[in-house]
Amino acid sequence: MAASALSAPAHSADAPPAYPWHLADLWWTLPANERLDSLSIAFDISNDVPEDVDFYIAPLGLVTVDGANFYGGVQTHVAGWPSASERTLVPPGRGTLFSRWATGKAIDLDYAQGPPGTHFEAAGYEGNFVSVRAACHWHSGSYIYSVTREVKNSHN
């Protein structure tokens, strides 16, 4: 496992860096005979983030499994479609999100699931992706972000 830190100074007091600021990126490769079925990352938020700040914490910054890329985290201003048929972005406020990109063929909302109140989005403006977003009124505290492989048949 390797760790690296990446940051960029702002061009002025009013201008953020040209790319998102990263506190740390951790990269590892599983042996070819290993299968990733679940991944959980514990993280602490030491101070409250004000409501008027756009802020995203990505415990899963970029993960690639079987050629499919995904990421996930918590954000201050999550927005998504209430359903596949109602494609108007609705901002539920603070929440969690999980986004996955296509691996060759189009990906759509058929790949997205969630309990009532879950919001979705499928688009191509960041590459061909589908995303699930849910309200979560996070503040300072300890959290665990977890993803689990869903097995639909014995061939997964």
Mean pLDDT of 75-93: 90
d(C-alpha 152, C-alpha 125), whole Å:
29
User: Mean pLDDT, the chain, as a whole number?
Assistant: 81
Q: Is the pLDDT of residue 8 over 60?
A: no
Rounded percentage of the chain residues whose pLDDT exceeds 70:
81
| Domain regions of the chain by residue span | 41-148
In angstroms, the CA 67 to CA 71 distance is 13
pTM of the predicted structure, to 2 decimals: 0.76
pLDDT given for residue 154 in this prediction: 43
Q: Which of 86-90, 122-126, 136-140, 151-155 has the lowest mean pLDDT?
A: 151-155
Of 88, 85, 76, 70, nearest in space to 132 by CA: 70
